[in-house]
Every structure is written in C-alpha cells, then in structure tokens.
Structure 1
C-alpha cells in the first residue's frame, strides 16, 4: 500500500511541533552519509535556487512631479535604465506606472542594468529619474524605495531546473550572456548555471507538490507561483513567480555583468511537502545523478560532452578568501573589471555583494584571491581535455540561506503550506 498524507495533516504536525523539516542541503547530506530518513520521518524539504534569471521584470508606480505638470510619460529612465511607461497612462497625475526589465541596460553604461538598479533601490540608494512626456517636457527627480507606492516583481521564467555548461572550443573569444566576460577560446574555461540537487524543480520533477497558487519565498519575501514560465517544458521546466518588491531583501537580488551587458539574479525557495512516496523518492536524487550537458557557447545547443553537478559543486569553495597583503593595487584592476556583481571595488571585497562566481580567483594576476572552483574532465572531438571551471552563474550559498530561512519560518508558523 502506498503511504499518503495531506497538507492539512502536515500543517497539524507543524502546529504541534512534531514535524520533521529539512533544508535540501541537510537532507542531501544525510543521503550522502548513508543516513537517509524514511518516508515517515520527513514532512517537508525546503529547496532553493539562486541564479541569473533573465525573465525578471518589475512593475512600479511612483510620483515624479506635482499633478498637472505634464500630460503623461512617453519615456522614463531610472539611473539611465529605460523603464517602459504604462500600461496605465496616469494623465496629469504627476505619477508614472512603468515596467522595468531586469535585462534592460543603462543608456550610459551597458554593464549597469535592471538588476543593479533594483538592488540600489532596495539598499536605500537614491535613483535619478528622467521623464520625457508626450507634450515635450522633460521632468527630472530623485526617488528612493520609500517613494515607490507599489512595486511588484513578476518573473516570467524563474527557478528553472538547472541548465547547461558552456565552453569555447573555437579559436576566438565569444561574448555571451552565459559568461561574465568574453569566454576565451581553445577550451580554456567552463561556465555553468544550476544549483544541482538543491533546486526545487529538480526535486519535484512531475510537479506533484509545486503547484499554481502555492506560496514560495522570492528574494526573501513571500511570493506566489502563477504557473509555468515561458518556454517551460516537461524536460526543462521553469516557473512564473510574483512577489512584492518593496518587501524583498537586497541580499537575494541584484545585477550580474555578462559579456552581453548587465543581467539580473534572483533567489527562490520552495517548500516541498512530502505527501506521498513518489514525492519522497524524487527527493532522493543527488548531484551525481543529475546530468549537466556541456555545449559550445557559440552554438549554445551544440552538445560537446556531458558531466554532472557533483563535479561542479562537491569539494569546491562557495566564497573566495581575499588576502589584502597580496593585492598590489594595480593601476587597472582586472578583478574590478571582471567581477560580475561589483563586489570588489578599490581594493575592498564586499562579501555581502559577492556571488561566489569564482572570477576573481581565476583572473587576479597576484593570486590575492584563494578559491577552489574546480575543473572537469571532458572528451571533446575525440580528445580528452581538462577544463577549469572559471565562472558560476548560480549561487548555492544564497540558495542554502533562503532555504534555511524558509524552514525556520515554517517551524515558527510564519509560513503556512
């Protein structure tokens, strides 16, 4: 007989302090140690992922002038980033409704975009706003997060079930959204995305527990699943999510520079109630069981070889160790140039802004950064090669932290399944 339980039964166990709740990291460690809890001993597993999620947009409303100063906005720029006016025209009100794309780039600097702008807002920084109206006026103002009367994130394609690794077998460097800077040729580096066995959709492949309308944590605050995301498929699922921007934690969202300009990263945690044995069995998957295709970054869909997430993450460091004594304050700092999140500025590492991508350790000429990001053995065009992992576009540390926050919220009955 197949064992089953309902969400109401699990919630009752949580209320009584009897529920066994694990983060995905805790649960997978037990599996790898050979101490896998039985079905009866697991009520909820909180799973998380953090990565570049290009489908992120924000819908914002804020006041830029006194009523009657202009008819309605035709163009809006926030720190030079275009924020598309509408859909509400707000005639003569002095306020604007805009849709800001996470992938939009500043007209002044393509490496500054929507992700960096939203982080700046959430960290309390002032943002310059320029409105060009349909009646030919230009309105200039400065706003902060406190001036946002309504702000909502809608992610059209989020929490995708891991992804693909890329390398460059070609002779010339290739610029791509899948590398922090143009990826050098002749197989000199590998970049990848995906949090492996922590990922919510990887742990609930048939969507037995992850359903439309269910609550999640999106960048640190409660959000909701709107349904499947754009380009979602059974093989490569992703979700459409939404949450209140103004309540989000800036630690979990931000900008990420790529070879094609600024992108945006988000962090998502989703609880998986263990309702039946099928859900439980799906949770038993570990990094070494999850295939990771390796593709030519120039072709993107041209398979070269296959590896797995165990080789990407196991035994590797999640953050760099910075030795200031080795920093020679170069006139042109390569780490400042390549750091995707601008965590390293003027000889100082802001660890709260660090994403653990590994670029600093792989590019610093003075070895001021110590970080084991690993390498992988591949067979490409019949030749065995060892390729260093030089850039991660996903962050397991943030994924783990948000999963742990979600676990504690459930235990404290601040988040009901």
Structure 2
C-alpha cells in the first residue's frame, strides 16, 4: 500500500526529483502500471480547464481621491460595478453589460482590458457627506494605479456541465451558445479527462486553501462555489487570485449572441498522489465522465433530459438523438486546457509551484436548492381573454374592418374552414389595405406565420416571445390548433402592475 505526504512531495519539488504528469497522461500510466504502480511512480497530476465561467468578477480598490468620495455608483468604461461595501472598493461582475453598448461590451471586457494594460474610465457619483464631500468623480485608471485587483469568482470549474440541445422549431440563444431548431446541434462545456473536479470527485485533495493555477498566476480555492451540488456530481469552486499577475492568454472576454457577456477563465488544479485511491481517481477518461443532454427549448429550470452521454461521445463530433446523427461543438477549449495542464506541470517540475492540502475539504453530499417562490407562477390561462372574436379566411376585408370597428378588437385570428388557425389580421393591416383600395379576401392580407401561445405556458415566457417577435398580441391555441383565447401585452402589463 502506497502512502505519501505533502511534505514529501514538496521536498521532491524542491530538489527537482518530482515526477509530474498531466491527467491525460495519467490515464495511460494507470492502465499500464495499475493504481498501485502509478501511485509509486507519480507524485503530482495536473489538470486544466478553459471555458466560459459567468460567475466571475474582480474586487478593485481605487484609493482615495482629493477631496475624498464615498462611491454610491461607479461605472468602469460605462459598465456598472457594485459599490455597497466601502468608500472606494467595487466589485465588477463579468456578465454586467455596458449602459451604452449593451451586450457588445461588459464587465468581462473591462477585466480583460485591465489585464492587457489598458486604462479604463471611472465615473462615480455620491450624495456627499462631511467626511466624503465629493459628489462626482471622473478619472482614468490602469491596473497599476489600483491598490488591489483581486479576482474573486463565486462559481467556477463545474465538476461537469450538462450538454444542450433544442427541440423547438426556432433557433434559440443561450449561455450554452446558439442552439439550432429540431435537435440541429448539441453544445457542451468542460474539459472531460482534464477537468479538475472530475479527477478528484471525492475532494480528497481539493478544498479550502488548495493552491491552483488561475488565469496564468498562482491562486487559491476559497471553498465550495455557489450552487455547489456535489450530491449530483455538479461540484463547483470559489476561487481567488491576483489580477495584476494574470495574463490575457488565460482570461478572455466573450459575447454570446442573444445572451450577453461572459469571461473565459483558465484554471488548473494539481492533485498530489498520496495513495492508490487518488491515483485511480486521476485515471478517469472521457469515456468515464457522463452527463446529460438537456432540451433548452423548454424554458424551465427543470429541462427534460434527452439522454445520457459521455465526453468521449461529445468530443467525437456527433451524438445520436432519436436515431439522428447530431453534430456537437464545445464551448470550452480542450487545446487551451491541455496547455494549462502542461504549464502547471512545468511550474511544479521547475520548483516554481508547491502543492498544498486543503485546510477544509469541500462538502460531498449536498444539493443546490431551487428558489423558494412565495407568489404563484402566472400562466396564460390566468390572464387570457376567452371571448375571442375570429373571422374566416374567405371573409372580405370590409367584413374584417366592420368587426374591428364594432368590437374594438385590434387583432382578429383568421380561421380555416375546419376552425383551425390560418393567420391573423390587425387593424393596421386593414388600414393599409384600405389605403391601397384593396377590399378582397382576408387571406390575401393576413399574416400567415402566427406567433401563438399555449394555455399552460408561463406568462413570463410568453412575454419574452412577444418582445422577441415585436408583436403586441398572440392567439392561444389548443393541441388541435383551435383558438381558445387571446393574450396581449396590455394583459401582461396589467398583471405586473398589480403585483408591483
């Protein structure tokens, strides 16, 4: 039975005799020598991951101005940072977007700009006090001008990530990238064989105080990350490091179409091989890391699982969904993850990085809870109008105009002879037809591609659909395509007004 200590391994690092391999290499070593032989042979296994980690940000201390100011609001390159802790401290989050540029620029870009040596514009406002009399401040600062710039990421390096696909008939844009209609693609994240927590799933060496590679510099694990759900294999890490020592090789801003900004974070965790159990854990392969493909077309926190899948399948480029070969693509960079694992390996081999045991292990059997909601979730049937006036597609434009005038409805669902939905006509459509002296059939001027809702959908989801399609109303249909109601933006506004 093999037993080593951190002190013994660090002594080997110090004298240059340490044997360090990457997690990718360890798979073959354990396969050849077995867990006991590998534990005797290898001292440290390095891991690496490089992917979008939205739950990231930086604490900044700007120093005091003259006269001093107690910052109540602060903007860096027009991106708001949180200042409710002290006079001149602020936390800028990676996903906060610009007041003027929107999703094209955000907190992640400010962070990358600072690391790259650029200066950023700081604008701050305050109500003013006797000890902090200044009310407005504008200045330009670089990273070197700040006292501290401490990256503090609440949730990074998921043990594994669910993969994503889309069953609907429209492309949707998510934090898992753009998902094509009708299971057109599958996206995934994570480094599989190199993933830090997949190589120590029982957290034997990873926990509070563990020294890590973070953004090209040495950092530390603070403890469990937010939404740490180790019971289901979805552990997370809270990490910190000195932004002033980091590199844009390993910290990069990103824009996700239709979603917003995120920050790509490079991280590597060394795993000291203290015994055979740890050696065996670090021999996990892509075939041994399993996750689920979820249907992101369902706008719910409880998305349906399509199937289980291994990272070996995901990295092959295609997976099978209901007999269909669906292409896969990674949101993480395995190439960069491998570079990180190898760079950390070099640091250790050169005596520039020493391993450490955690002062406290991460909790092993906890699950993240959903939000407690004290108000009911409104669904379409709660607010839709049920007395809907419709018109047949063979009716004349004149008939439609008269119905709208007599009923004060601005939208008329147009029906086929079998009473299914054929289209929709609005007061604007009729006014335009009249101006062109067109009084033919309704079906000649109706909109055929109708945005609809289902009776049991959540109002928040339908409101989003109205905004995306820039319409003010939609018919509510049943499974047979019959119109059973109508929901409008006014209905939704009244609901929210009552709740506020």
Q: 1:191 to 1:55 in 2, by over 3 A?
A: same
Indicate which of 375, 378, 400 corresponds to 2:321. Answer: 378
Deviations 1:164-216 (CA, angstroms, capped at 9, x unpaired): 1101111122221111xx42211112111111010110000001111211211
Question: Mapping of 1:239-250 within 5 angstroms?
Answer: 239-250=237-248
Q: Do residues 212 (structure 1) and 208 (structure 2) align?
A: yes
**SS of residue matched to 1:202:** helix
How far the C-alpha of 1:35 sits from its partner, in A, is: 7.0
How far the C-alpha of 1:264 sits from its partner, in A, is: 1.4
8 A Cα contact 2:159 2:236, kept in partner:
yes
Flag structure 1 segments of 5+ consecutive residues without an equivalent.
90-95, 315-373
How far the C-alpha of 1:66 sits from its partner, in A, is: 4.1
Query: Matches of 2:175 and 2:192 in 1, distance apart?
Result: 20
* Structure 1 vs Structure 2 CA RMSD: 2.0
Question: Mapping of 1:9-408 within 5 angstroms?
Answer: 9-28=8-27, 38-63=38-63, 66-68=65-67, 71-89=69-87, 96-108=88-100, 109-135=102-128, 137-179=135-177, 182-234=178-230, 235-258=233-256, 259-299=258-298, 301-313=303-315, 374-379=317-322, 384-390=323-329, 392-408=330-346
Runs of 4+ in 1 over 4 A off after TM superposition: 29-32, 34-37
Deviations 1:119-159 (CA, angstroms, capped at 9, x unpaired): 11111122122112224944222221221211101111111
**SS of residue matched to 1:121:** helix
Deviations 1:273-315 (CA, angstroms, capped at 9, x unpaired): 000111011111100121121001133631011221112335x
Query: Matches of 2:39 and 2:172 in 1, distance apart?
Result: 48
Query: Matches of 1:48 and 1:54 in 2, distance apart?
Result: 18
8 A Cα contact 1:86 1:99, kept in partner:
no
Pick 1 or 2: higher relative contact order, CA cutoff 8 A, min separation 6.
1
**SS of residue matched to 1:310:** helix
Deviations 1:346-392 (CA, angstroms, capped at 9, x unpaired): xxxxxxxxxxxxxxxxxxxxxxxxxxxx222223xxxx1111124x2
**SS of residue matched to 1:408:** helix
8 A Cα contact 1:50 1:266, kept in partner:
yes
Q: TM-score, normalised by structure 1?
A: 0.77
Between structures 1 and 2, the one with greater helix share: 2
8 A Cα contact 1:71 1:134, kept in partner:
no
Query: Matches of 2:180 and 2:13 in 1, distance apart?
Result: 51
Query: Matches of 2:5 and 2:338 in 1, distance apart?
Result: 26
Query: Matches of 1:134 and 1:183 in 2, distance apart?
Result: 46
**SS of residue matched to 1:88:** coil
**SS of residue matched to 1:9:** helix
Flag structure 2 segments of 5+ consecutive residues without an equivalent.
129-133, 356-500
> 2:460 matched to which residue of 1?
none
How far the C-alpha of 1:77 sits from its partner, in A, is: 0.8
